Amino acid sequence: MRRHRQAKIVATLGPSSNDRQTIQALFEAGADVFRFNFSHGSHADHMARYRIVRAVERESGRPIAVLADLQGPKLRIGQFEQGKVTLNKGQDFTLDRDTRPGDKQRVCLPHPELFDVITAGQALLLDDGKVRLQVEYSDGQRIRTRVMNDGVLSDRKGVNVPDAVLPIPALTDKDKRDLDFALDMGADWIALSFVQRPEDVHEARAIIGTRAGVLSKLEKPAALDRLDAIVQASDAIMVARGDLGVELPPERVPGTQKKILRTCRQHGRPIVIATQMLESMISSPVPTRAEVSDVAGAIYDGSDAVMLSAESANGAYPLQAVAMMDRVIAEVERDPLYRNLLDAQNEAPQANRADAICSALRDVAGIVGATTTVTYTSSGHTSLRAARERPMAPILSITPQLATARRLALVWGVHSTISEQIHNEQEMVSAACQTALKEGFAKAGDQIAITAGMPFGQPGSTNLLRLAEVWA
């Protein structure tokens, strides 16, 4: 099933998308990657959905990526005697280590590691920023604050600390259990929540190895201070605008998103834009015009993928949400301005063979009017570098590795296919032409541009560029 667009769609599975018929319909409507949210659901729930996804994949013959999204270290306050309290602007309110139920004056903060890093002058945001506290004093046992706005606070609400790098592990005990399960299940991508520093990525990489790609979710301002290092340490990036939009002033989020996009494009890392993209479609069959503009803006900026969360997981219109996103992407990509913007954002190739070949591939394909660019890859590296160049012609990626083909389903412009290992240049050209015909990317007499690495099957050896005419 060829997609007639370049950017990809990530759809989250949940109660509204739990059965074979719905998952199949989501795929046919345009979902390229299915996200499994480990903040919700049991391992048995995830395994049942995984088996359905793989059945859909086998039936369609198109590789589908599975993204396992770990919950991460979510910070929460304790409980209140009455379940909730009303706080008034200007009053004092204390967070402490006392595990007794809280009241209007205090509540437990069951995260002892925070008491040593929170200092006077910092802000604490509770319940997704609905209640804002200003820290006046902290002595390692209690944090005394001033309430900055009227609000209601109830049990176990989240805590955000935008002004500090928190001394908390990137992987909680729950995350480690979920990670082991996700890897055994066969997830293609692992999403790490609340990444603050490259060391968080290295910690996960030590466990994951090469079994899955590592996708870092940028949700905290602290991550922006080490953005380049985090992007380089990761295989992909997600701009998770939920928590990021809580910890940053809302007016800074669009510019921050563009900065992260530019950095990912520079380093050739796929990027996913997520959170509240078509949120009104949780309960409405049509989105707002602002939401459509948000999706379109992410595509104009060159994003690899856009993501649906609750819209497809527990909304009333999951199929309509995917179909709407598919139509918006296709419409943007038909706009001549889209190509102009992509070309204007093009980054200079790095000084290595893979970038030199893939940069030339883009230019050569444009000059001769190639209908497709064909990349032979074992690890996926060649296809990733080709995608970084955003060529005019679609990228037909050919690999003998099913895991590689699935992982590339997240990447801009890449149509992944599986083939047997090739052994020489003649086999390469023949397989490229036949696959381009079979997949609908070319017809007899068309020119295609092919890149690969020699010796064949050796990862990271991209060094060959070849033009060929397709024959029937």
Give the separation between CA 420 and CA 297, rounded to whole angstroms: 39
Q: Residue with structure tokens 């943007």?
A: 332
pLDDT tens digits, 314-346: 999 999 999 999 999 999 999 999 999 999 988
Q: Which of 106, 126, 160 is the last residue of a domain?
A: 160
Q: 361 and 333: one domain?
A: no
pLDDT tens digits, 20-42: 999 999 999 999 999 999 999 99
Q: 311 and 413: one domain?
A: no
pLDDT of residue 462: 84
Q: 310 and 403: one domain?
A: no
Q: 212 and 281: one domain?
A: yes
Q: 155 and 202: one domain?
A: no
Q: Which of 337, 364, 393 is the last residue of a domain?
A: 337
In a domain, 348, yes or no: no
Q: 386 and 421: one domain?
A: yes
Q: What is the CATH number of the domain that holds 373?
A: 3.40.1380.20
In a domain, 446, yes or no: yes
Give the separation between CA 302 and CA 169, rounded to whole angstroms: 32
Quote the number of domains for the chain.
3
Give the separation between CA 75 and CA 95, rounded to whole angstroms: 13
In a domain, 346, yes or no: no
Give the separation between CA 271 and CA 199, rounded to whole angstroms: 20
Listed as ranges, residues in the chain with pLDDT below 70 are 1, 460
Q: 293 and 195: one domain?
A: yes
Q: Which of 304, 337, 370 is the last residue of a domain?
A: 337
Q: 136 and 216: one domain?
A: no
* Rounded CA Rg of the chain: 24
pLDDT of residue 346: 86
Q: 29 and 144: one domain?
A: no
Q: Which residues belong to the active site?
A: 35, 76, 217, 275
In a domain, 2, yes or no: no
SS3 of the chain: the string is CCCCCCCEEEEEECHHHCCHHHHHHHHHHCCCEEEEECCCCCHHHHHHHHHHHHHHHHHHCCCCEEEEECCCCCCECCCECCCEEEECCCCEEEEECCCCCECCCEEECCCHHHCCCCCCCCEEEECCCCEEEEEEEECCCEEEEEECCCEEEECCCEEECCCCCCCCCCCCHHHHHHHHHHHHHCCCEEEECCCCCHHHHHHHHHHHCCCCEEEEEECCHHHHCCHHHHHHHCCEEEEEHHHHHHHCCHHHHHHHHHHHHHHHHHHCCCEEEECCCCHHHHCCCCCCHHHHHHHHHHHHCCCCEEEECHHHHCCCCHHHHHHHHHHHHHHHHHCHHHHHHHHHCCCCCCCCHHHHHHHHHHHHHHHHCCCEEEEECCCCHHHHHHHHCCCCCCEEEEECCHHHHHHHHHCCCEEEEECCCCCCHHHHHHHHHHHHHHCCCCCCCCEEEEEEECCCCCCCCEEEEEEEECCC
pLDDT of residue 74: 86
Give the separation between CA 117 and CA 159, rounded to whole angstroms: 14
Q: 462 and 424: one domain?
A: yes
In a domain, 3, yes or no: no
In a domain, 97, yes or no: yes
In a domain, 100, yes or no: yes
> Domain range holding 133?
84-160
Q: 220 and 296: one domain?
A: yes
**What percent of the chain has a predicted confidence (pLDDT) above 70?**
99
In a domain, 345, yes or no: no
Q: 270 and 404: one domain?
A: no
pLDDT of residue 1: 64
Q: Are 27 and 61 in contact (CB under 8 A)?
A: no
Q: What is the CATH number of the domain that holds 139?
A: 2.40.33.10
Q: What is the CATH number of the domain that holds 249?
A: 3.20.20.60
